[in-house]
Amino acid sequence: MTNKYMYFIANWKMYGDLKSVNTLDKVIKFSKSNKNNKFKLIYCPPYTLLSLFSSKLKKTNINIGAQNCHVNDGYGAFTGSVSSKMIKNVGANHVIIGHSENRAQDDTNLIINRKIKAALMNKLRIIFCIGETLMERKRKKTKKILSNQITQGLKGVKNLSNIIIAYEPIWSIGTGKIPKINSLSKDINYIKTFVQVKFKIKTVKVLYGGSVNTKNINELKEISLLDGFLIGGASQNPKNFIDIVKKTFI
């Protein structure tokens, strides 16, 4: 994996305040000092920090993403919502869609599909999350769940060049548990093969997310098919985030 171009996406969830922008300094310095161009860093802070992060990272090669968007691609009478057009206007170029925490709040595959299409309309790159519950995994329904989420979520999307898939087993998120490496490798291979055959494309980027930290990255990096990681809690600490990147390429 050391010769591979990798994504490291920081999903801050509902954390961060105005002072949080200062935590970017170490990561910016690290990014500028590293000339191998083998990785892309993407920060996905809460909506309230998008503009501030965008300004801070404007002259760097670190990208900005939002954590979700509305199904409407422009403006409208949707109190409390944020559209992909608004996200684009504040300088973001990525958006996470389909995260299990949003699926748990009634984001169905149909809604996720509409959000993806709306975001693509505004030229955002999609970080499309998929994953199964522990019960579904125990009942050996992982492949069925993943294929349904992919098929329905990407229905009608003709060009997948701006789609990055993030496999996040729901039972792994925030629990400190990660799948066994052999099993996870098979899941990543299944996702890639399914998408390539279903949509008749040669390549697709697939990331892993779920309790990624400085300790288990040494195991996870052994999966040669992986194209990077979607990182939650560990990404809020600049040292930990940098260490995860460094350890991936050791």
For residue 1, being part of any structural domain is answered with no
For residue 62, being part of any structural domain is answered with yes
For residue 104, being part of any structural domain is answered with yes
Distances (CA, A) of 63 to 9, 106, 111, 131, 184: 9, 28, 26, 25, 27
Among residues 94, 99, 101, 132, which one is catalytic?
99
**Tens digit of pLDDT for each residue in 82-131?**
999 999 999 999 999 999 999 999 999 999 999 999 999 999 999 999 99
Predicted structure pTM score: 0.97
For residue 38, being part of any structural domain is answered with yes
Residue range of the domain that includes 155: 6-248
Residue 176 is given by DSSP the state S
Helix (H) or strand (E) holding 40: strand 39-44
For residue 202, being part of any structural domain is answered with yes
Whether 167 and 208 have beta carbons less than 8 Å apart is answered as: yes
The pLDDT value given to residue 160? 98
- Taking the C-alpha atoms of residue 107 and residue 104, their distance in angstroms, rounded to an integer, is 7
In terms of Cα–Cα distance, which of 72, 131, 127 is closest to 100?
131
92: CATH: 3.20.20.70
Domain count for the chain: 1
Instruction: Assess whether pLDDT exceeds 90 at residue 36.
Output: no
- Taking the alpha carbons of 55, 57, 63, 67 in that order, is the dihedral positive or negative? negative
- Taking the C-alpha atoms of residue 55 and residue 68, their distance in angstroms, rounded to an integer, is 20
Whether 160 and 204 have beta carbons less than 8 Å apart is answered as: yes
The region of weakest confidence among 53-57, 129-133, 173-177, 179-183 is 173-177
Q: Tell me the sheet residues that pair with 129.
A: 166
Is 168 one of the annotated active-site residues of the chain?
yes
Helices (H) and strands (E) in the chain, counts: 10, 8
The pLDDT value given to residue 54? 98
- In whole numbers, what is the pLDDT of the chain averaged over residues? 96
**Tens digit of pLDDT for each residue in 40-95?**
999 999 999 999 999 999 999 999 999 999 999 999 999 999 999 999 999 999 99
- Taking the C-alpha atoms of residue 127 and residue 160, their distance in angstroms, rounded to an integer, is 11
The pLDDT value given to residue 3? 59
Instruction: Assess whether pLDDT exceeds 70 at residue 2.
Output: no
Among residues 94, 101, 132, 168, which one is catalytic?
168
Residue % of the chain over a pLDDT of 70: 99
The pLDDT value given to residue 35? 75
Which pLDDT band holds residue 8 (cuts at 50, 70, 90)? very high
In the predicted model, what is the mean pLDDT of residues 186-211? Answer: 97
Whether 99 and 45 have beta carbons less than 8 Å apart is answered as: no
The pLDDT value given to residue 37? 76
**Tens digit of pLDDT for each residue in 129-160?**
999 999 999 999 999 999 999 999 999 999 99
For residue 205, being part of any structural domain is answered with yes
For residue 107, being part of any structural domain is answered with yes
Residue 26 is given by DSSP the state H
For residue 78, being part of any structural domain is answered with yes
